[in-house]
Amino acid sequence: MSDKCGFPRDRLMEYVYSGTEEAKDIAEIEAHIKGCAGCAEKAAGYKSAIKAYSEIKVDFSEDVWDIQRQEIIRKIRKERKDPFAAVLKVFSFVFGHKKLGFALLLVALAGVWAGHYRNQAALQRDRVMIEKVDVLENMEILERLDFYRDLAELGI
Amino acid sequence: MEREDRDIIQDIKKGSEAAMNELIKKYQKRVYNMVYGMCVNYDTAWDVSQEVFIKVVRNIDSFRGDSSFWTFLYRVTMNAFYDFKRKEKVRSRVANYTDTKAEDEKRVFEVRDMLNIEEDFEKKEAKERIKEALDGLTDVQKEVFMLKNMEGLKIREISAVLKISDGTVKSHLSRATEKIKSITGGGKQ
Ligand SMILES: [Zn+2]
């Protein structure tokens, strides 16, 4: 094995991926593999794992892809007709149910319009929550990706 | 002949539905497979890839063409994927998962059933092992491995997309390949 013979794994990887990369000194790696059964077995194992992975690629018949496109266009159409739906979706997610989300959204709006029904602390709480959800939903896509990366790094 | 991305995007910005259809048709298989290559789940890949194109159209004005459309699409795809996973995590903490899913997001079918996908036992087993191996990787390791072996990108292309050095890409790729090999039993099948 490479860990026993001391041949570095990175070099074996270079060999394994040499079909798609401009690898240097491949002959040197090949010469080692020829004479080292452990490394040969390991390299074959990497190649086989990569092959198994690339074979999971999915292709459906064209009518299935058509169905998906139609569904996407239908959803986009719906959203364009009803921009309010996008806001509702955020609330639905936060509150877990569309109808409940809708009701709570109305309550929140009513609360804002008729501010005297709520005390200042409750209003502040709602405002902060709406703001946070809003920030998350409307954050520039690239920032959001970084945001999720940060969370992943923190193990959240 | 296929039109250039920027021409299609110009038309989408003007509100053309035909252009949306054209763009989705051009990229839907790749987007589906990128997501599938991250999670090995037909339904997740279906739902996330739909969401990707909805987001692309919704945010098309933020694409100004200073990077390639594919790079933009890739970031939207991963964003949507992590978003989906995060929502799933939150939902799984709520007792009645199905009751809490917004009606709009409910899928009345399972992609597998709709497609009548029949897989032999060995193929199914291999997929399960790949899924298990992927679950043991970090997000960035998974992305690197997928970009290399599903999308066929070169190391320097991956480093440009992920904004990390070539050396870091190589080290992620190496660890991911080792892990996939050890769990899928590469070479000993
Ligand atoms: Zn060796």
With both helix axes pointing from N to C terminus, report the angle between A84-95 and A120-138 in degrees, rounded to the nearest 10. 110
Helices (H), chain B: 5-13, 17-39, 42-58, 69-93, 97-100, 111-115, 121-135, 139-149, 155-162, 166-184
How close, in Å, is residue A113 to chain B by CA atoms? 26
**Can you give the pLDDT at residue A2?**
45
Query: Poorest-confidence range of A62-66, A107-111, B51-55, B146-150?
Result: A107-111
Q: Give me ligand 1 centre to Cα B177, in Å.
A: 18
Same domain as B20, residue B90: yes
Same domain as B145, residue B70: no
**Can you give the pLDDT at residue A110?**
72
Q: Which chain B residues touch A82 with a CB distance below 8 Å?
A: none
Mutate to test the interface with A, among B22, B39, B184, B188 (most CBs of A within 10 A): B184
Range of the domain at B61: 1-107
Same domain as B125, residue B91: no
Task: Indicate the number of domains in chain B.
Answer: 2
* DSSP designation for B4: P
| Cβ-defined contact of A141 to B187 (cutoff 8 Å) | no
Instruction: State which residues of chain B have pLDDT below 50.
Output: 95, 97, 187-189
Same domain as B156, residue B86: no
CATH of the domain at B122: 1.10.10.10
Same domain as B127, residue B74: no
Whether residue B10 is contained in a domain is answered as yes
Whether residue B98 is contained in a domain is answered as yes
Whether residue B189 is contained in a domain is answered as no
Same domain as B128, residue B98: no
Report the predicted TM-score, pTM, of the whole model to 2 decimal places.
Answer: 0.75
How close, in Å, is residue A20 to chain B by CA atoms? 7
- The burial class, CB within 10 Å (0-12 / 13-18 / 19+), for A83 is exposed
**Can you give the pLDDT at residue B93?**
64
Question: Looking at the predicted structure, is the pLDDT value of residue A32 above 50?
Answer: yes
Same domain as B103, residue B42: yes
How close, in Å, is residue B153 to chain A by CA atoms? 8
